Structure 1
Amino acid sequence: MLKKLLGLSTASILALGLAACGGDDATEEAPTEGAEGTEETTTHVGEQVDYTIVGIDPGAGLMNITINDVLPEYGLEDDWTVTESSGAAMAASLASAYENEEPIIVTGWSPHWKFSDFDLKYLEDPQNLYGGAEDVHTIARLGLEDEHPNAYQLLDQFNWEPEHIEYVMALINEGADPADAAEQFVSENEDLVATWTEGVDSVDGDEVTLLYVAWDDVIASTNVVGHALETVGYDVTLTQVDAGPMWAGVASGSGDAAVGAWLPTTHADYYAQYDGEFEDLGSNLHGTALGLVVPTYMDIDSIEDLVVE
């Protein structure tokens, strides 16, 4: 039976003091002396969202890029704040704002169920600070191939597409237990899963530990791989940790593998820190993206639009 130490902390939903929505609404100013009529001004998007970008967990590479690169390079560091929360809290804040058609800016990534549930867009990044599409890699502890060759082979052969992971994420978001969502996906996609298990021999209760961070996509992928390992006889434990401990755990051997290593940007610092202490099995998913995300009803298109004149 799949043993999961999810340990998901219940993050407090951010209570954002958002200003009234409607960035295109004009406000009247009293005419200046000697002028005729009135002059219209447009509320800056910063005032609409209290100059706040809703972030995720502080150890995430997405947060580091936003705070240390994007804000200073675009000249936003003096006016804007990126709040620390979690992926779940960010999504809850986005859902609340979207339901009421209120303005909101979040640190976002894809694949993620929010893009199937809401009409969203990435703000253009003219300086390309968030970089291009990333891959999600599988990393394994040194020695795994020798000690658990069949688990190693399945992990090495694991590969899927964004639409696959988004399907699992949607099931979970709609209320399915992650383990149940994983089982449903595996049962409905036998041909795909067969490419992961090709040449893999069955075992009898060998224990394997997968480490993961509490991001919706990583929860989905880890549960799916865990269930696939179960189908060939492994006794799998899923252990939730933060990003740093995930890499440290694989490097130290306290965890056998992780399938949620975002590269080359998001987890670049961890990759460099533990280089040589783990094995990179390569990409298991291509076509990710990072950036600042807003609902399409907001009249803003670029990070440059956040600059306060």
Structure 2
Amino acid sequence: MLKLDWKRLGITAGLSLTLVAAGCGSSDEGSSDEGESGDSGETNYGEELGYSITGIEAGAGVVAGAEDAVETYDSLEGWEVTTSSSGAMATELGEAIDSEEPIIVTGWTPHWKFAEYDLKYLEDPEGVFGEAEEIRTMVREGLEDEEPDAYQILDQFSWTAEDMEEVMLDINGGAEPQEAAQNWIADNEEAVNEWTDGTEEVDGNEIELVFVSWDSEIASTNVVAEVMKEQGFDVTITPLDNGPMWETVATGDSDGMVAAWLPATHGDQFEQHKDSLVDLGANLEGAKVGLVVPDYMDVDSIEDLQPDN
């Protein structure tokens, strides 16, 4: 299988860590430690945040949703979405919480940050971010015939948000992704047996799984890879940007992924490639994306924010 060209083009060599400027000082007129009060009676955090939402990678569905929200809501007039990476977003969020400062991030669940911090989604009355999502498994055409045991494991893989967050928390606590995956597998033998039920062990058959470098997908891909290794597969996992991840499965340059967020987050990529890959359905249900803030912030809805007038 020829994979070198797209790896060279698709793997992100480096992610810029664009930091959000947050003005923490007091103004001369009517400010307080909690910010100015807007017409709605809610605290106005716009000036403190530089009218900026902390995003992740450009092109991610949750970033596109945030950009749509800026265009849709009058309360976000003059705001912008600053892109960086999922890791940089989590770092900025943690630093803001340590200082009890305001911050608005593009967020999603499952994610370890909801177990680590007291967070809340801002209500989205216009439905810009859509309803609950699911994470699906996609494989290349022909995999079922060529590697039926790998296909069956991927088809039978299914777990919960709590399962995924357990692995993510282990990684966030310092464990290597492979180690965290092995720890979860050791503690969840019954679930793993369901994934491998009806399959036979193989002898070094090569399988490549691709994923976008989000904490959730690092967790799920490593878990599936370790299960397949226990069945005798020689598994390679490759991190890619969103577009190349979908393209490589659709073209057959990789075997599959367990990282397809639908219907919104990866909706554009799915529409582009759906006729050239095999959709094995949801491996996790009840995922969600939206704008997320620390619970101590006095704001509950996107409509409670104030425009940059």
TM-score, length of structure 1 as denominator length? 0.89
Match of 1:236, SS state, is strand
Note if contact 2:44-2:306 (Cα within 8 Å) is conserved in structure 1: no
1:77 is displaced (CA, Å) by: 6.0
SS of 2:201's equivalent in the other structure is coil
Q: Aligned to 1:233, what secondary structure does the other structure show?
A: coil
Question: Is the 1:221–1:259 Cα contact (8 Å) retained in structure 2?
Answer: yes
Whole-Å separation in 1 of the counterparts to 2:37 and 2:265: 39
SS in 2 for 1:287: strand
2:19 to 15, 18, 21: 15
- Structure 1 stretch 75-84 or stretch 149-158: which is displaced more? 75-84
Q: Secondary structure at 2:190's aligned position in 1?
A: helix
The alpha-carbon distance between structure 1 residues 133 and 220, as it changes in their structure 2 partners (threshold 3 A), is: same
Amino acid across the alignment from 2:23? A
Looking at structure 2, the residues matched to 193 and 176 of structure 1 have their Cα atoms a distance apart, in angstroms, of 21
Is the Cα contact below 8 Å between 1:46 and 1:306 reproduced in 2? yes
For residue 19 of structure 1, report the CA deviation from its aligned partner.
2.0
Partner Cα separation in structure 2 for residue 21 and residue 166 of structure 1: 36
Deviation by residue 1:216-244 (Cα, 9 ceiling, x = unmatched): 00000000000000011000000110010
Superposition map of 1:163-242 within 5 A = 163-242=162-241
Residue aligned with 2:115, SS: helix
Q: In structure 1, the residue corresponding to 2:220 is in which secondary structure?
A: helix
Per the alignment, residue 37 of structure 1 pairs with none
2:54 aligned partner? 54
Corresponding residue SS for 1:286: strand
Gaps of 5+ in 1: 29-39
Shift in Å, 1:112: 0.3
Q: Structure 2, unaligned stretches of length 5 or more?
A: 1-6
Contact 2:52 2:81 in 1 (8 A): yes
**Which of the pair has more CA radius of gyration?**
1
Q: TM-score, normalised by structure 2?
A: 0.89
Does the aligned pair in 2 maintain the 1:17–1:50 contact within 8 Å? yes
Match of 1:34 in 2: none
User: 8 Å contact 2:20–2:82 — kept in the other structure?
Assistant: no
Q: Is the counterpart of residue 246 in structure 1 residue 250 in structure 2?
A: no
The one-letter amino acid of 1:79's match is G
Shift in Å, 1:14: 4.0
3-state DSSP class of the match of 1:140? Answer: strand
Alpha-carbon distance between aligned partners in 2 of 1:205 and 1:289, rounded to the nearest angstrom: 37
Q: Does residue 88 of the first structure (1) align with residue 92 of the second (2)?
A: no
SS at 1:195's partner residue?
helix
Instruction: Answer whether contact 1:56 1:107 (CA < 8 A) is retained.
Output: yes
In structure 1, the partner of 2:65 is: 65
In 2, Cα distance between the equivalents of 1:163 and 1:251? 30
Cα distance in 2 for residues equivalent to 1:289 and 1:140: 23
Distance in 2 (CA, whole Å) between partners of 1:193 and 1:82 is: 40
Q: After the TM superposition, which residues 254-273 of structure 1 pair with which residues of structure 2 at under 5 Å, given as runs?
A: 254-273=253-272
Alpha-carbon spacing, 1:201–1:113, altered in 2? closer, same or farther (3 Å): same
User: What is the alpha-carbon root mean square deviation over aligned residues?
Assistant: 2.1
The structural deviation recorded for 1:213 is: 0.4
User: Is contact 2:45–2:306 with CA below 8 Å preserved after alignment?
Assistant: no
Amino acid at match of 1:222: T
CA gap 1:286/1:21 in 2 versus in 1, 3 angstroms: farther
Q: Distance in 2 between matches of 1:41 and 1:269?
A: 39
Letter in structure 1 aligned against 2:21? G
String of CA shifts for 1:128-179, please: whole Å, max 9, x gaps: 1111110000000000000000000000000000000000000000110000
> How many angstroms apart in 1 are the aligned matches of 2:282 and 2:238?
21
Figure out how many residues of one structure are paired with residues of the other and give that number: 291
CA distance in 2, matches of 1:244, 1:72: 24
